[in-house]
Copies of this chain bind each other. A is one copy, B any other.
């Protein structure tokens, strides 16, 4: 940014200043300009992202990679001058698991290396195996029974639900103005577009039947003495998706070695086997379980508040640092972590003196059920099962989350909080030129702001351009550093830093929705 642009920005913010004053804030337009200047011109977000992805590696829940990342981020926060950088346990998770070797190839009818990775928490093959394959396809228990007596010592091939084909749609996209307008126009009181109850129940029943069949299939494949399983969750072009993994609990029942495969490779094996051509697989996985420490952790650090009355209050920002294991979890969610880390680095570098304390959190074990943030919320604020509020509950001004890939911020989900929406609209004003314009009252789910929302705390997730998150990177072996566009990451860092600053400088905490009732079924 050059000086003229800085002046123009300061001018734009000056126009908005009376609005801040009306609302009761000590946010300084010059500080907002400094935040933008630091974030756009001296960004370290890609360097941070490189360390989180390439250097720390895959960061599966309670893995060695996640431990490396926790240690590195704690150290990095301290290096940047944050206070109280801590690796804080949130509760008991389960076993750690890392891959030490993974090799799979077809050795007959001819040699071909296959693309795949061990499914999380599956055991080793205990050395290399060379086995014949058998295809198992069943949609009913009767169909499954037909395989009895045929699986011993075989590598079982499970079916591919969605075979790849030439793609006439781009992997990546950005939100259009029309889509953003539709989000902005959303009214919570609008009749919800939910499917009718009967249809829902039918689908749930189908799902239960399918899950029961899958469990029976797994049990049978194990008890019949198969050697290993090759399965496919989806993907194309050498990209494959990973699924939810085998059980990670310390007392989980045994499962077979299983690899999740690129669909093209899996389909070749299946076509050959179904044509009656003998297919031989060579396979070796070596996985390491860690049972010494079953706890899960979050990493937290602070920029202390400076206002005597308000410094006991906290503005939080966070993102989950754990990932799946077949890549380096770049868009899910090193991107969110790098942006949140960069936001607090920017604030420190800009010399912010926040009225409230700013606390950044990098959550563990999100992928298995938002465990890190839910544990943290339960330990610090309230258990949604009882809704007995802890003293810190009244001190949280806001929580901001980022976990929808590496796309730039286009706005924010106000999560049904109608009183917060106009505040966010004001805070977004300086960022229209950077593409962030939209406040929607819509709820969005699937990530850690829900843990706060569940106990009546104002937790929000930003709207991000989808890019290729849904099609290519989310839970795949191709969720790598290449998928992080530097310009998007910088923009997001500046928007987040600005929101956090605003929330820390405002006279009042962000408005809250009505406290929810206790939900005993949400006990952790």
Which A residues lie at the B interface, using CB under 8 A? Answer: 50, 54-55, 57-58, 64-65, 68, 98-103, 105, 109-113, 115, 117, 163-173, 236-240, 262-264, 267-268, 271-272, 275, 277, 328, 467-468, 472, 477-478, 480-483, 485
Contacts and interface: CB of A to CB of B under 8 A. Distances in A.
B238 A164 contact: no
22 contacts: A50-B271, A98-B110, A100-B111, A101-B111, A102-B105, A102-B113, A103-B113, A163-B482, A164-B482, A165-B485, A166-B171, A166-B468, A167-B172, A168-B170, A168-B173, A170-B170, A171-B237, A236-B237, A237-B472, A264-B480, A268-B328, A268-B480
Given A170-B170, A268-B481, 4 more contacts: A50-B271, A55-B109, A55-B275, A166-B172
Copies in the complex: 2
Among A99, A167, A468, A481, find the residue whose CB has the most chain B CB atoms closer than 10 A: A167
Contacts of A165: 482-483, 485
Please name the 5 residue pairs, one residue from A and one from B, whose CB atoms are nearest each other, closest first. Answer: A238-B238, A166-B172, A57-B110, A166-B468, A237-B237
B65 A110 contact: yes
A236 B473 CA distance: 12
Contacts of A478: 237-238, 264
Contacts of A117: 113
Contact of A477 (B109, B163, B238, B240): B238
A279 to B, nearest CB: 10
B54 A272 contact: yes
Nearest to A103: B103
A24 to B, nearest CB: 41
A97 to B, nearest CB: 12
Contact of A267 (B100, B103, B267, B482): B482
Given A166-B468, A166-B483, A268 B54 contact: yes
A217 to B, nearest CB: 25
Contact of A99 (B111, B115, B166, B467): B111
A103, A238, A468, A478 pick with most chain B CB within 10 angstroms:
A238
A237 to B, nearest CB: 5
A168 B468 CA distance: 9
Contacts of A173: 168
A472 B237 CA distance: 8
Given A165-B485, A168-B172, A468-B167, A275 B50 contact: yes
A246 B231 CA distance: 35
* Most B Cβ at <10 Å: residue of A50, A264, A271: A264
B482 A271 contact: no
Contacts of A236: 237, 482
Contact of A166 (B50, B277, B472): B472
A170 B480 CA distance: 20
B166 A485 contact: yes
Contacts of A57: 109-110, 112
Nearest to A469: B166
A121 to B, nearest CB: 16
Contacts of A65: 110
A487 to B, nearest CB: 11
A171 B168 CA distance: 6
Contacts of A277: 55
A28 B171 CA distance: 48
B103 A482 contact: no
Nearest to A116: B113
A112 B472 CA distance: 19
A435 to B, nearest CB: 15
